[in-house]
Structure 1
Amino acid sequence: MSKQAFIFPGQGSQFSGMGKNLFETNPLAKTLFEQANDILGFSISNIMFTGTDEALKQTNVTQPAVFLHSVIAYKTIDGATPDMVAGHSLGEFSALVANGTLAFEDALKLVSIRANAMQKACEINPSTMAAVLALADDKVEDICAAIQAETGEIVVAANYNCPGQLVISGSLKGIEIACERLKAAGAKRALVLPVGGAFHSPLMAPAKAELAAAIEATTFNMPTCPVYQNVVAEAVTNPLEIKQNLIDQLTGAVRWTQSVQAMVADGATNFTEVGPGKVLQGLVQKIHKESVVAGVN
């Protein structure tokens, strides 16, 4: 029997005007946006609807904005009944609202705490990320490990997006060295990304204690369907495990390729990306060409 997977995007999918149509056409969406403004203590809806790209790039805005667009879009779908859910990085919080693990308000508060904690970690350790194209994952991992062993600079595989597309994360020097070596090893491209820091690497450790405390203090319910979490790339339904994986995700890799493969192995045939952009639809098609993909935004 074919199964329906709902998937949720992460940071980088934001755009000026995001969510505006939902706000203007759906009473529930309007109520949820207004509730979010109250919870956050500033008008995030104004920034989403009319803000500049620069304003939307600030981590403390981007993460709640993408989360809100995704979750509010999901809540306006008539009769949505996923058999499984997953989210890319930040999108995992959206997925946990979709499967009933987290209440909307609690998840928004956690996303805001996570964003601010990550911003502070970026300021403590200037760092970055780079996209590596057309080089085998194990080759990238080996080169990163060799650089760390030789130089002491942190550089790790951070996002396994799809076969032939891996993002690395680390110190400014570590990423600079890695880009040179990866291109020399045959990578089609090794391109530094315009991000604020080394997400999904040990350099995010300063943010972990704050996020962990907030997660431990939040109620996690039994989910209505499994979530395929980034750090383990397999179905999880135990709330205690979900909590720990969410904490570990901050410094661990996003195993998106492996997560989609696990969902397909468990019967997923249809993937619906809910939220801004179409990034995940493209990645799913590269990971498993036979999957049917669609988007709701």
Structure 2
Amino acid sequence: METVGILFDGQGSQYYEMGKSLYNECELVRPFYKQLSRELHLSLDSLFELKEDKIKQTIFSQPLIFTFEVSLYSIFKSKYPKLAVQSYGLSLGMYSAMYANNYLDFSQLLKIVIKRAECMQKASEVCPGKMIALSNGNIDDIEFVCSQLKNEKVSVANYNSTKQVVVGGSHMGVNKASKLFDALGIQQRELQVNGAFHTALMDIARVEFLQFLNDKFNSLPGCSNKISLDTSIEKYRKKAIELCANQIVSATSLVDVLAHMEKLGINRFVEIGPKIIISRFITDCLDNKQVDTITSYQDIKELSFQ
């Protein structure tokens, strides 16, 4: 059976009552949600009925998305237990990719994700930032603009595709960058996030998270090559504590990961997450690839592998 590229979404794809129908439809995933309920000190009803303003908060959105993706993947894998996978997770999705490759069990990863979310939420409140998505710009021009605003903590946070990158930093810095991007004719859109993730503004989150990981785990095993990593953190593959901590302040590079997966001979990809996000970037970057999406139990029922 072919190796399939499994791609997990990151923060920003959450929605009201996410996971509720999945919980009701499939007994397999109920233990995940019961544990999430205990860890967040919320009843299951409260968990599934968090209002939009709560779900958008990092402390809730990250553990909710992680549990949702693990649940979908577990159902998927129970249907295709012998399927070989190469996994990648965009930002938060890295922890779902770790679960998919049996890196740690759900309980351990959930605790890590919850602490990560707490650290990033705090950092966003102490050092508020802004992020903008840029389309059809020259990457050299974009990186040059960011280099001129380094003191404002402005940098490329996400290399999503050949057609889109995301820039983040302080409000003042990103506003200055935005004017320069306007002058260059680069299309831009402000993202509805509460922090400049994957930029230097998250360094206080990195420091606190690193301390937590060292105190809690002392050491963690290195990551298997079956987990694809962003170029910026590949050097930490065998030092997982540093990997997890530094990922918070390092750029994601989906465009490079997809190119690497193509070199591995992967021709079929499955995106798993609350909404369809990564799939459009695949079509920007790669030709003649089959792309499936799993956002619900029904999607898994309709999916077919030879």
Q: AA paired with 1:285? A: T
Unmatched 5+ residue regions in structure 2? Answer: 296-306
What percentage of residue pairs aligned between the two structures are identical? 29
- Are the aligned partners of 1:93 and 1:107 in contact in 2 as well (CA < 8 Å)? yes
Q: AA paired with 1:108? A: L
C-alpha separation between the residues in 1 aligned to 2:84 and 2:92? Answer: 19
Cα distance, 1:232–1:241 mapped onto 2, change above 3 Å: farther
1:55-94 equivalent positions in 2, closer than 5 A: 55-77=54-76, 78-80=79-81, 81-94=83-96
C-alpha separation between the residues in 2 aligned to 1:48 and 1:181? Answer: 43
Q: TM-score, normalised by structure 1?
A: 0.91
1:227 matched residue in structure 2: 227
C-alpha separation between the residues in 1 aligned to 2:144 and 2:66? Answer: 34
Unmatched 5+ residue regions in structure 1? Answer: none
Q: AA paired with 1:212? A: L
2:244 matched residue in structure 1: 246
TM-superposed CA distance for 1:171, in Å, is 0.6
C-alpha separation between the residues in 2 aligned to 1:175 and 1:250? Answer: 19
Q: Which SS does the other structure have where 2:160 is aligned?
A: strand
- State the number of aligned residues: 290
Q: TM-score, normalised by structure 2?
A: 0.88
Residue 126 (structure 2) pairs with residue 124 (structure 1): yes
Cα distance, 1:181–1:47 mapped onto 2, change above 3 Å: farther
Q: Which SS does the other structure have where 1:168 is aligned?
A: strand
1:262-277 equivalent positions in 2, closer than 5 A: 262-277=260-275
- Greater CA drift, 78-87 or 102-111: 78-87
Q: AA paired with 1:269? A: N
TM-superposed CA distance for 1:79, in Å, is 2.5
Q: AA paired with 1:35? A: Q
- Are the aligned partners of 2:267 and 2:289 in contact in 1 as well (CA < 8 Å)? yes
- Are the aligned partners of 2:123 and 2:204 in contact in 1 as well (CA < 8 Å)? yes
1:147-186 equivalent positions in 2, closer than 5 A: 147-148=149-150, 152-186=151-185
2:278 matched residue in structure 1: 280
- Are the aligned partners of 1:221 and 1:239 in contact in 2 as well (CA < 8 Å)? no
Q: AA paired with 1:3? A: T
Cα shift readout 1:237-284 (whole Å, capped 9, x = no counterpart): x96334432221111101111111111111111111122111011211
C-alpha separation between the residues in 2 aligned to 1:133 and 1:48? Answer: 36
TM-superposed CA distance for 1:232, in Å, is 3.8
1:207 matched residue in structure 2: 205
C-alpha separation between the residues in 2 aligned to 1:126 and 1:222? Answer: 33
RMSD of aligned Cα (Å): 2.1
- Are the aligned partners of 2:162 and 2:285 in contact in 1 as well (CA < 8 Å)? yes
C-alpha separation between the residues in 2 aligned to 1:147 and 1:224? Answer: 37
Q: Which SS does the other structure have where 1:190 is aligned?
A: strand
TM-superposed CA distance for 1:225, in Å, is 5.5
- Are the aligned partners of 1:100 and 1:222 in contact in 2 as well (CA < 8 Å)? no
1:15-30 equivalent positions in 2, closer than 5 A: 15-30=15-30
TM-superposed CA distance for 1:292, in Å, is 0.9
C-alpha separation between the residues in 2 aligned to 1:253 and 1:47? Answer: 34
Q: Which SS does the other structure have where 1:159 is aligned?
A: strand
TM-superposed CA distance for 1:170, in Å, is 0.3
- Are the aligned partners of 1:101 and 1:239 in contact in 2 as well (CA < 8 Å)? no
- Are the aligned partners of 1:70 and 1:94 in contact in 2 as well (CA < 8 Å)? yes
2:50 matched residue in structure 1: 51
Cα shift readout 1:32-84 (whole Å, capped 9, x = no counterpart): 211211123224x5456333322210110111111010001111122343431
2:112 matched residue in structure 1: 110
- Are the aligned partners of 1:273 and 1:295 in contact in 2 as well (CA < 8 Å)? yes
Cα distance, 1:230–1:223 mapped onto 2, change above 3 Å: closer
Cα distance, 1:231–1:118 mapped onto 2, change above 3 Å: farther
Cα shift readout 1:104-157 (whole Å, capped 9, x = no counterpart): 011111111011101111111121111111102221101110233xxx322000
C-alpha separation between the residues in 2 aligned to 1:117 and 1:205? Answer: 10
Cα shift readout 1:141-185 (whole Å, capped 9, x = no counterpart): 01110233xxx3220000111112110010110000001101111
